[in-house]
Structure 1
Amino acid sequence: MSLAKCETTIENKKVRSNHRALCYILKDIWHKIWLDNPPSNYILLFSSIVAIFMFIPVIYVILKVFEADKARWSLLLGSRILPLLINTFKLAFVVTTLTIIIGVSLAWFINRTDLPFRKFFKVASALPLAVPPYVGALTYIIVFGPRGLLRDIFGTVPFNIYSFWGVSLVMTIFTFPYVYLIVSSAIQRLNLNYEEAALSLGLSYKEIFFKVIMVLLRPAIGSSALLVCLYIFSDFGAIAMMRYNTFASSIYYQMTGRFDMVASSVLSLFLMMITLVIIIFENKMKRKSYAQSAKSARKINIIHLGKYKYLAFAFVSFIFFLSVVIPFSVLISWSVRGILNGAINARFIGFVKNSLYSATVATLICMIVTIPLVYLKSRYNSFISEIINKMIYSGYVLPGVITSLGIVVFFIRYFPRFYSTPFIVITAYIIRFLPQCMKSAEAAIELVPKNLDEAAKNLGKNEGYILSKVIFPLIRPGIFSGGALVFVNSLKELTTTLILRPAGFDTLAVRVWMEASEGFYQFAAPAALLIVLVSIYPLMVLINEK
């Protein structure tokens, strides 16, 4: 063998040796990232694709912003952004403050006092959550509008429903249950030892409530306030129906009225930044909150209200009247009027079919996709799985109008064939509501012992078999509960459906919006009532879990 060949052979061996060493180093790093328990390539690849798919709206809104020239930025910053900021923050501040006052008061009266009919109000105070705010806005316009019921009876109305305070009232009435349910759950878990220690130090119940109870409830109040605040920033239907202008409604009108995707993207970027800042602020406040030891085993002490009992009862009854009696009685009476005038016809059946089709397909896809996603998160802990999870949840945090904008830009550019089809609506539902299904399944899979799937692996079973034959049967109730949430929320989703629907593909939510916008309330009421009735079942499940 010649010297040149020997040198070439030695060099090749060195290259192969270095290649093997590099592979061993990368493999060692990979195992350390996953704590010596890496997932299969199939699950990781599938989860990564889903995460990128869910992150599409964020990516394309940001990319579209770079198309804005200096003149466009100057126009928006000079004349649009500041008024929208003031309008949106003012509404969010007022509604969040009012929902905290109402929600905390109801939770305390119902769970800790001798309020009359406590069990009834415990369920009734959560019922407004079954009424989408745009449906609630419809009922209040019918009663308090310029041509509403009160004007027909008394010749005047007590206030202008289309004013700032009218919008604030409607949004408060139909979002306070977020605070009520979360704070009620926290009150039921309070450790009574803190109250007894405060009583032994001579504090009155009033002092205990503000100095002890409210401090311990701060995390629950903060979380529920965040939900309400983010909802106000993201809501379009009710706010636009009541002729108030916020970031979400302005983005919608830029997209559908002026067809200006660049300006919509700039406004969306500001809204995303505001949303992110609010979430970061709430997380920092949560870290400063007080922790408590395990819940006391003793029965909760019921506080006697004495002479204030009937004053508290009047307050709770008044909230019940505003949030349940008015909307439900209006929907029922106007639905009967609509049915007698032929509202239930072939077109209405078509709206029902479209709603059921899109919601059912989105629900089935979410339920199937959820299984490997929650399996990756619960069984394979690393910063990679955490990044994948946060990307998936981005669609849940973002307002629906931003999600719609990102989907529109993406499909027009890369998949124009699918743009004017129901597929794009179903895609939006999946991006918006998949995290809801995952939340329910995550709670279920945490109860499944890890040694079950480890035993299946030791028997030579692959992860496809484990997911379908071991994990799914055990987390099936959680998957179905999450699927029910996806179905109901898809059924009543307005913003994304209104923006993305193809011609002739109207759903129940869209018809409520269209008929109400034209003043045909008797034709909007049956669709609205059907949406509310369907929404009550998962709400009852949620209340029972609480």
Structure 2
Amino acid sequence: MSHHENNDKQHKQETKDGDILSPSSRRFSIKEFVLGKKGSKPGGILFMFAVVTAIMMAIPVLYVIGMSLFAGADRWISLLDSRIPRLIWNTLSLTVSVTFAAVVIGVALAWLVNRTSLPGRKMWQWLLALPLVIPPYVGAVTYIIVFGPRGWVAREWESHDWLVNLIGEYSFNIYSFTGIFLVLTLFTYPYVFLIASASIRKMNRNFEEVARSQGLSTWQVFWKVNLPFLRPAIGAGAILIALYVLSDFGAIAMMRYTTFTAAIYYQMGSYDNVSATVLSVVLIGLTLIILWIEAKSKKKQSYHQSSNSFKETDNLPLGKWKWFATLFVWFIFIISVVLPIGVLIYWSVLGIQEGALNANFWMYAWNSIKVSGLAAIICMIMALPVVYLRSRYPSRVSYFIEKISYAGYALPGVIVALGIIFIFNNHIPVLYNTYYLIAFAFVIRFLPQAMQSTDASLSLLSPRMDEAARSLGHPPWKVLIKVIIPSILPGILAGGALVFVSSIKELPATLLLRPPGFDTLAVRIWVEASEAIYHMAAPAALLIVIVSIIPLRYLLKKY
């Protein structure tokens, strides 16, 4: 064999192994970027459907950012000098405070319920998760009714002269940082409670036994052994709470506290869309910073436990702390569940006696069902191609499409609505001022919920079923319809249920996008409560709470 032949053979072998990049291998790299390492084609219909979904999710946000760039330096400077610093302080101080307090309460309750001899542990696993079914703006209404300047406590306080003489006049101001902090903490702690409970139940007793053999006390074992394993769960719950506080509008507006979401809404109400886009971009920046911090913290978490020697943890006796722990659990349950639901039932009874369940009420309920149901159906349809493409045809393109589809979930509804208003008002006026825009906003906001549920079911389905169907000559889109959907239909429907209930509670997007004369239950709660007509707001709020039990059952089964 000649010297040149040896070189050619060596060159071909090196190229095959990927050590040397020839022009042909560069072409393969581009193909791999699009199709993944397997290089299998997902099919044009499936791929285009996923791409269109990603574009729909991204355009409203990108449009808002683009419009803010044309706001002009004067507008930016004016807002930076006057409003933005104060809004940043209000928003971040509230977000940090609520997140910290909710994490402490959620972890404490999860530990007591899942690791100690607390009486009624199984019952508390359900009851302490119930605040999730109460929208914070509904919780805010109930707390205003009870603790407001003309609320139950104030009237009862002033009716007792001896109490006024002893302590003074009733002075608690619910319309304050303390009030909104209390409400948001009580109705967001279950995010941490549920996720931390799942992690605590999976802990391995072996690590605790080793720690105790070294002479560590129960408290030291918690800090040095248990807490490191809980950090991922705490981080996951904390990021959910922080993003919720950043995006909340209803409770914050009810409590007359101003953050970015409220400021954006009020700018839209005064038809100052340019200032609204500037404030939106700053809020998007804060959201991205929180997501970046969460991503960085995940990289530093490297706590693992093996399952080959797994032992379930023992319940720790509370001893002399039993009554204190029981009182703490009951206190949280009463102020976060019993109090708000009791208030809603009381005012609902009065409202029904006053004729609140009239034709208008059922029209509002039908409007809510109509737009939420439409959003749920669209999300179930749109989520499947994106998830299937990412799962069965992994590549950088499919990964990017999936991440773009999550964009709306991390942003406040007021920003999503703002982008939709700009797009449809300027470019698609035929759909402007129709309820279809509300459904479109719900899809952008809650599509990831359908994607998560669908992905969880698809991950349990073997790819060999797809391969067998494709070997018979079926294209990927037909495999998806004929094989995949019937196999994972329960997961798809569960995702649709989550979207439906989240949509029926959504307030800011509905307020901004509703056409004239089109009200939903959430809007009527806002309108009636703002005018202190509580007997008309309570039945709608109670109906939303009852319907919201559907996703809670799903979450409790999952965690």
Shared fold, TM over 0.5:
yes
Separation of aligned partners in 2, 1:525 and 1:515 = 9
**Alignment of 1:347 onto 2:383:** no
| Residue 252 of structure 1, CA deviation | 0.6
**Alignment of 1:213 onto 2:214:** no
**Alignment of 1:97 onto 2:92:** no
| Residue 390 of structure 1, CA deviation | 1.0
Separation of aligned partners in 1, 2:424 and 2:24 = 39
Q: Among 433, 437, 445, which residue is 1:424 paired with?
A: 437
Q: Among 513, 520, 524, which residue is 1:500 paired with?
A: 513
Separation of aligned partners in 2, 1:60 and 1:136 = 34
Q: Which residue of 2 aligns with 1:468?
A: 481
**Alignment of 1:288 onto 2:300:** yes
Counterparts of 1:269-288 in structure 2, within 5 Å, are 269-288=281-300
Counterpart residue type for residue 29 of structure 1: I
Counterparts of 1:92-241 in structure 2, within 5 Å, are 92-155=95-158, 157=170, 159-241=172-254
| Residue 152 of structure 1, CA deviation | 2.1
- What SS does the aligned partner of 1:55 have? helix
Q: Among 72, 75, 78, which residue is 2:75 paired with?
A: 72
Q: Which residue of 2 aligns with 1:245?
A: 258
| Residue 402 of structure 1, CA deviation | 0.9
Separation of aligned partners in 1, 2:56 and 2:181 = 36
| Residue 297 of structure 1, CA deviation | 3.2
Q: Which residue of 2 aligns with 1:540?
A: 553
**Alignment of 1:29 onto 2:42:** no
Separation of aligned partners in 1, 2:511 and 2:504 = 12
Q: Which residue of 1 aligns with 2:374?
A: 361
Q: Which residue of 2 aligns with 1:12?
A: none
Stretch deviating more after TM superposition (244-253 or 359-368): 359-368
Q: Which residue of 2 aligns with 1:300?
A: 313
TM-score, structure 1 as length reference = 0.94
Separation of aligned partners in 1, 2:434 and 2:313 = 55
Counterpart residue type for residue 283 of structure 1: A
Separation of aligned partners in 2, 1:207 and 1:491 = 45
What whole-Å deviation, never above 9, does each CA across 1:354-384 have from its counterpart, x for those lacking one?
0011011111111112221211010011110
- What SS does the aligned partner of 1:83 have? helix
Counterpart residue type for residue 539 of structure 1: L
| Residue 23 of structure 1, CA deviation | 11
Q: Among 337, 345, 352, which residue is 1:324 paired with?
A: 337
Separation of aligned partners in 2, 1:24 and 1:410 = 42
Q: Among 40, 46, 70, which residue is 2:49 paired with?
A: 46
- Indicate how the Cα distance of structure 1 residues 32 and 290 shifts in structure 2: closer, same or farther if over 3 A, else same: closer
| Residue 292 of structure 1, CA deviation | 1.6
- What SS does the aligned partner of 2:548 have? helix
| Misfit runs of 4+, over 6 Å | 22-25
Q: Which residue of 1 aligns with 2:12?
A: none
Question: Retained in 1: the 8 A contact 2:375–2:442?
Answer: yes
Question: Retained in 2: the 8 A contact 1:103–1:177?
Answer: yes
Counterpart residue type for residue 181 of structure 1: L
Separation of aligned partners in 1, 2:472 and 2:260 = 56
TM-score, structure 2 as length reference = 0.92
What whole-Å deviation, never above 9, does each CA across 1:65-88 have from its counterpart, x for those lacking one?
122112111110000110001111
| Residue 392 of structure 1, CA deviation | 0.6
Separation of aligned partners in 1, 2:33 and 2:258 = 51
Q: Which residue of 1 aligns with 2:465?
A: 452
Question: Retained in 2: the 8 A contact 1:145–1:157?
Answer: no
Separation of aligned partners in 2, 1:38 and 1:102 = 49
Counterparts of 1:332-411 in structure 2, within 5 Å, are 332-411=345-424
**Alignment of 1:266 onto 2:278:** yes
Q: How many residues align?
A: 525
* Structure 1: gaps spanning 5 or more residues: 1-21
Separation of aligned partners in 1, 2:310 and 2:302 = 20
Counterpart residue type for residue 82 of structure 1: P
| Residue 31 of structure 1, CA deviation | 4.6
Question: Retained in 1: the 8 A contact 2:33–2:397?
Answer: no
- Indicate how the Cα distance of structure 1 residues 106 and 25 shifts in structure 2: closer, same or farther if over 3 A, else same: closer
Separation of aligned partners in 2, 1:476 and 1:145 = 47
Separation of aligned partners in 2, 1:403 and 1:213 = 40
Question: Retained in 2: the 8 A contact 1:215–1:290?
Answer: no
- Indicate how the Cα distance of structure 1 residues 479 and 157 shifts in structure 2: closer, same or farther if over 3 A, else same: farther
Separation of aligned partners in 2, 1:232 and 1:78 = 25
- What SS does the aligned partner of 2:454 have? helix
What whole-Å deviation, never above 9, does each CA across 1:179-207 have from its counterpart, x for those lacking one?
11111111111122111110010000011
| Residue 119 of structure 1, CA deviation | 1.4
- What SS does the aligned partner of 1:460 have? coil
Stretch deviating more after TM superposition (63-72 or 420-429): 63-72
**Alignment of 1:313 onto 2:314:** no
Separation of aligned partners in 2, 1:498 and 1:229 = 23
| Residue 38 of structure 1, CA deviation | 2.6
What whole-Å deviation, never above 9, does each CA across 1:277-314 have from its counterpart, x for those lacking one?
11111111111123222345323200001000110101
Aligned-residue RMSD, C-alpha: 1.6
- Indicate how the Cα distance of structure 1 residues 409 and 23 shifts in structure 2: closer, same or farther if over 3 A, else same: farther
Counterpart residue type for residue 503 of structure 2: S
Q: Which residue of 1 aligns with 2:58?
A: 55
Question: Retained in 2: the 8 A contact 1:191–1:292?
Answer: no
- Indicate how the Cα distance of structure 1 residues 408 and 479 shifts in structure 2: closer, same or farther if over 3 A, else same: same
| Residue 29 of structure 1, CA deviation | 3.3
Counterpart residue type for residue 145 of structure 2: I
Question: Retained in 1: the 8 A contact 2:203–2:312?
Answer: no
- Indicate how the Cα distance of structure 1 residues 224 and 463 shifts in structure 2: closer, same or farther if over 3 A, else same: same
- Indicate how the Cα distance of structure 1 residues 84 and 29 shifts in structure 2: closer, same or farther if over 3 A, else same: closer
Counterpart residue type for residue 357 of structure 1: K
- Indicate how the Cα distance of structure 1 residues 31 and 79 shifts in structure 2: closer, same or farther if over 3 A, else same: closer
Separation of aligned partners in 1, 2:321 and 2:25 = 74
Question: Retained in 1: the 8 A contact 2:386–2:401?
Answer: no
Separation of aligned partners in 2, 1:44 and 1:122 = 42
Question: Retained in 1: the 8 A contact 2:206–2:310?
Answer: no
Separation of aligned partners in 2, 1:223 and 1:369 = 26
Q: Which residue of 2 aligns with 1:82?
A: 85
- Indicate how the Cα distance of structure 1 residues 501 and 285 shifts in structure 2: closer, same or farther if over 3 A, else same: same
Question: Retained in 2: the 8 A contact 1:130–1:539?
Answer: yes
| Residue 118 of structure 1, CA deviation | 1.2
- Indicate how the Cα distance of structure 1 residues 337 and 113 shifts in structure 2: closer, same or farther if over 3 A, else same: same
